[in-house]
Amino acid sequence: MIGNRFEMREGNFDAQNEISYQFGAMGDNTGGANVGTGNQKNLHINAWATRSWIGYTHYQSAWKPRLAFNFDYASGDGRANCTSAAGAGTGCKSANTFENFFPTNHIHMGYMDVQAWKNMISLSVNFQFRPSKDDHVEFWYTNLNLASSKDNWYRAGQGVYVYSQVGNTKTHIGDELDIAWTHMFMDGKLAFQAAYGHLFAGGYIAENLGTRADQSWAYAQLWMNF
């Protein structure tokens, strides 16, 4: 894997871009004398991902409000199961699903952890402010989609969340809304955080799971900085 990353801060504006490209070879697990070992290396890896944002912080205001727009993309594959037995007989030659080597998607792509940086397209808007020197409030809106309708839906842990049905054409997973509040004690050495997220189901969930049921998720935590 090779890539680049740059950040820019100029006055009240900040921007960031990261691009990663993966290449090489790997084996499938679909048959032959080396089944289960991956030694055949018959799949050509060609995958990439990017993350970008641009933000504006009004430092002159007491609450220091910040508005940011984010775009995330990670390639998928037209044949989702080339590396598993389920892909047997599909004529697989490539592995185009991006593999996140450092899977820390939490916060970056929604607090609910329902999407990995893997076969995905995501647009999001983030608004945050500090009503006091010890409080931080954050709102997120994220539009979650698959990059390839033929590939699977992967969650933040990088494993398959939902296997896409054969012939699936839907890519819109849903829309996630998050709110998080953090209160700091002892000059930031101790902090309490509570967050709530809600996922409004999209066409992909309806097509592949047969439901339009939403999801809700919440947590509270206390942490200490040393």
| pLDDT score at 7 | 96
pLDDT greater than 80 at residue 104 = no
Q: Which residue has the higher pLDDT, 12 or 88?
A: 12
**What is the residue range of 71's domain?**
2-224
Residue 189 Cα to chain centre, angstroms = 29
Q: Which residue has the higher pLDDT, 156 or 105?
A: 156
pLDDT greater than 80 at residue 61 = yes
pLDDT digits (tens, 9 = 90+) for 110-136: 899 999 999 999 999 999 999 999 999
N-term to C-term CA, the chain: 34
CA atoms in the 13 A half-sphere facing the CB of 166: 3
The CATH number that applies at residue 211 is: 2.40.160.100
Name the phi and psi angles at 9, rounded to 5: -130, 120
pLDDT greater than 60 at residue 35 = no
CB-count exposure of residue 210 (10 Å: 0-12, 13-18, 19+): exposed
Domain count, the chain: 1
Q: Please choose, from the candidates 198, 191, 220, the residue with its C-alpha nearest in 3D space to the C-alpha of residue 139.
A: 198
| pLDDT-wise least confident of 79-83, 110-114, 140-144 | 79-83
Q: Which residue has the higher pLDDT, 177 or 30?
A: 177
pLDDT digits (tens, 9 = 90+) for 150-180: 999 999 888 889 999 888 999 999 999 999 9
- pLDDT bin (cut points 50, 70, 90) of residue 33 is very low
Q: Name residues whose C-beta falls within 8 Å of residue 120's C-beta, 6 or more positions apart in sequence.
A: 72, 73, 74, 76, 109, 144, 145, 146, 147, 154
Q: Please choose, from the candidates 174, 151, 153, the residue with its C-alpha nearest in 3D space to the C-alpha of residue 95.
A: 151
